[in-house]
Amino acid sequence: MGGMGMRELVIILLVVLVVFGAKKLRTVGSDLGAAVRGFKKSMNEGEDEGINPPKQIPPEGKDAEFAETRKARDTSQNSDRSV
């Protein structure tokens, strides 16, 4: 009861070939290969980001102000001046 030998692997391959068919087996194999390649590519890109982090855009000027915020600020400044 050791490991799987060459004979067992051939029998399993033949059973899978009969069940799924040659054409379906070929498409499953190519899809699996594409998935593995995509996974490796994304892992390599993730490692590159660790070495060279993405650059951040520096802020330009003031932040945007909303009308409600501006009115409240102007009102509070006017009340401070009147005192």
- Per the domain annotation, does 68 fall within a domain? no
Domain count, the chain: 1
Q: Which candidate, 6, 36, 9, places its Cα nearest to that of 17?
A: 9
- Per the domain annotation, does 44 fall within a domain? yes
- Per the domain annotation, does 81 fall within a domain? no
More confident of the two residues 5 and 61: 5
- Per the domain annotation, does 6 fall within a domain? yes
- Per the domain annotation, does 76 fall within a domain? no
- Per the domain annotation, does 45 fall within a domain? yes
| 14-53 confidence digits (pLDDT tens) | 998 888 888 888 888 899 999 999 999 988 877 766 666 6
The domain containing residue 28 runs over which residues? 1-51
- Per the domain annotation, does 7 fall within a domain? yes
| 3-14 confidence digits (pLDDT tens) | 889 999 999 989
- Per the domain annotation, does 60 fall within a domain? no
pLDDT surpassing 80 at residue 59: no
Residue 80's pLDDT band, with cuts at 50, 70 and 90, is low
